[in-house]
Every structure is written in structure tokens, then in C-alpha cells.
Amino acid sequence: STSCLVGGGGGVADHSLYSLTDSSDCSPEDEEASPEPPLTPLQKLTADMCKDEKTIKELIIGRRVGFYKVRGEIGYGTFSRVKLAFHALTRDKVALKILDRMRLDAQAQRLLSREINSMEALQHPNIIRLYEVVETPSRLYLVLEYAGGGDLHNRICSEGKLCDNTSKVTFAQVLSAIKYMVGYYIIHRDLKAENVLFTTTGAVKVADFGFSTRVSNRNLLFRDESYLGPPVDVWAMGVLLFFMVTGTMPFRAETMGKLRRCIIEGNYTLPPWVPGPCQRLIRGILKPAPAERYAIDQMLGCDWLLPVEFPWSLVPPEPTNALQRLLDSERSSSVEAELHEEVRSSLQELGFTSEHLQNNQLTDSRSPVTGVYRILLHRSQKRRGCDCPPVVRGMVRDPKREGLRAYRGLRHTSKFCVLS
């Protein structure tokens, strides 16, 4: 069968990379054959990628990469740049992270491999998703979820510090992502305002896993001065929270030496107008000694975050008995089956056959079938509210102002004090 152009920016790959085009897609029609049924969207696209001059030119110059139409640049990094793109079949927007393979030394290649492995393992409402990886001889493309609402750093720099409720909702979502990552023994190691993105609906997405790494289960159990696990991300969240509620960084100095001393000594000043519960959370996080810092669950259960209510459970409730466990299992299986059937139906409408799905197990990120599947799956999950941001239902009184006894009574009778 005829080879097809599927790359971008100077890359040509044989059609086995996509395994989607049969010999009839790229060969002349048999004049004596009976009338063929209308082409499916997939058949039309693969035929264009083989025969249409405009499509082939776009593939050669990088205006198309695989099944994605590339548009303008939306960001850049040391080894990469990020462009907006559209999937030619689903029409969904994606972010295309482009890396020049010639510029990647051994260290950069190791980091890239970790980034892909980390993102493959993580599927959470507050973590940017990896849909697909497209390779050409000169470039490598990570097809990522497109957030579309800018990043936390630019928002604060242009609009100033966040109000208390917005800080709660934003921080709680970052914390939710970090808790999930710890469950997979993954540490982000580059958590900062530039890597906290917003969707157009206000949900928060932790992005850029280029410095992420996995730690062993054993390392997660030890808390000492040489510990390089979750306390690294915990510390970063303390800096992030300080930046959210004040609009400034906690540690500032004229020289790098003085800045280092400020950080080591934990020398910073909280403005008095920061709410008491938030001040206590920041002080609990920004402890110089890693072993003394708040753990993730301590942060989740702090007074300041009590009014935040997620549209999903952070921790599945423990089933009370075998019957409850069975019912929960059946309910979960039912939802998953419904999602799977919805996505399968969408794939069939686009022209993907049972053979396509059998040949692609939907786990290989370097398969375009996986890319389409993950985009459609995420779309279905979003329709069911999986990307909805949490809300603040009320407020919790500060025990230093109201009295510890009254506060404990409030906590005992109700989780939230709902405002009328």
C-alpha cells in the first residue's frame, strides 16, 4: 500500500504509524466496481493526507501534525514551544507541545521520558491530560488538554491578589491534584504559578510535568532532612498560597545569598489582613524542616478549607459491608460501561471500526486511535461534570475571634455555617 504523510515540520512517516489506511484509501478507484458508500470522516481525512495537495503541503510545512491542524503559538519553554491546535475529526482544541529532537541532550531526554510516563499515569480533573504523542524524525509533539483560561501568574500580575474565596477554590484544586499524585508516588517538583492553569469554566489544571519523578513506596514513609518526596511539593504549595492571597512572594532579598538565608531560616512576614485560618495554614506549610511541615491530609482538613465543597469525592467512602461494596462496584461499573459505550458510538460515527480498536489497545499514547479515544472520553467525562470547580458553601468562624468552645460546637453540629 502507498505511504502517507503524517508528520509535520519536515517529518515523513510510513502509514504503519497510523495503521488506519487500507489500500483502497490511497489507490485509484475501480471504474467497474459498484458504487461505493459515502466516505466516513476518517476515510476522507486519511485519503486527503495521501492525495490532497493542500493537506500534504500543510503536513510538510508543519501546519498539520498527524490528525491535528496547527494554529498560533500560546507559550514556550527552554526546550519547547506550545501551539494551539484542533483535532481534524473531533474539532476539539488541544495544546501542542513541540520539542526539537536535535536539541535534546541525554538529560533532556530523561526528563521528557519522565514527563510522558507521569502524564500517562495521571487522569484527574485538576491535572492537564496527555492525549497523544506524535513523533517525526526531527520533532516530538505532546498533544495535551487545552485549558484556555490563562495561568495563575499572569492573572495575579495583571489583576492583583485573589480574594479569599477564589484563593480557597484555587488552592483546594491544586491540593486535590497533589494528593492524587502522591497516591501514584509522583512528585511534580516544579509547582509554581506559571504551571497552574485555568479552564474557561474556572477549573484549575496543574501542568508541566517536565521535572516530575516517581519515588518508591519506601521513600514515602520516611521523613528526614534528606527527604525529597512530597514535602518538596508541599513547600511549593506554601509559596503558591502566599502568592495567591498577598500578590507577592514570601521570600525576597537583594542577593541570592540573602534570599537563600531567608528561605533556610523561614524568614517571611504575613500581612495582618490575611485571614487567621489562612495564616495558620501558610505557617504550617512553610516550615524550614521538611519533617515539620503539614502533610497533605492536614492541609485538606485545615480550618481555612472547610467551606470548600468538591463536586466529586477526594477519597471514596469506605464501604460499610459486603453488600455496600457490591452495590458501589455495580454502580461504578455501570457508569464506566455507559461512558465506554458513548465513546465507542462516537468512534464508529467517525469511521473507526472494530478492527481499528482491536489493533490499538487504547493504551499506547503514540497511536492516533488512542488520541481520538482519550479526547472523546474526556469530552464525555466533562459533560458529566468531572471538570467542574468546587464551590464555597459558607464560612467557618475563626476560633481566635469567636472562642474555641463555640467553634468546636459548630464543627460538631455542622461542617459548614451557611450564610443566609
Burial call 20-30: b when 16+ CB within 10 Å, e when fewer: bbeeebbeeee
The answer to whether the CB of 95 falls within 8 A of the CB of 86 is no
| Among the listed residues 17, 81, 37, 108, the one whose alpha carbon sits nearest the alpha carbon of residue 368 | 17
| Residue 233 appears among annotated catalytic residues | no
Catalytic position from the list 52, 92, 164, 190 = 190
**Edge-to-edge strand list for the sheet holding 196-199:** 148-151, 196-199, 204-206
Which residues are CB-contacts of 15 (< 8 A; sequence separation ≥ 6)?
1, 2, 3, 4, 6, 21, 26, 50
The full DSSP string for 139-173 is EEEEEEE--EEEEHHHHHHHH-SPPHHHHHHHHHH
- Phi-psi region at 408: left, alpha or beta (left = phi > 0; alpha = psi -120 to 50): alpha
- Rounded CA separation 370/378 (Å): 12
Which residues are CB-contacts of 339 (< 8 A; sequence separation ≥ 6)?
377, 380, 381, 384
Q: Mark the binding-site residues for ATP, compressed into ranges.
A: 97
Compute the chain's Rg from CA coordinates.
Answer: 25
Q: Mark the binding-site residues, compressed into ranges.
A: 97
| Among the listed residues 101, 136, 99, the one whose alpha carbon sits nearest the alpha carbon of residue 13 | 136
The full DSSP string for 219-269 is HHH--STT--SHHHHHHHHHHHHHHHHHSS-S---SSHHHHHHHHHHT---
In eight-state DSSP terms, residue 388 is P
Which residues are CB-contacts of 25 (< 8 A; sequence separation ≥ 6)?
43, 46, 47, 50
As annotated, the active-site residues are 190
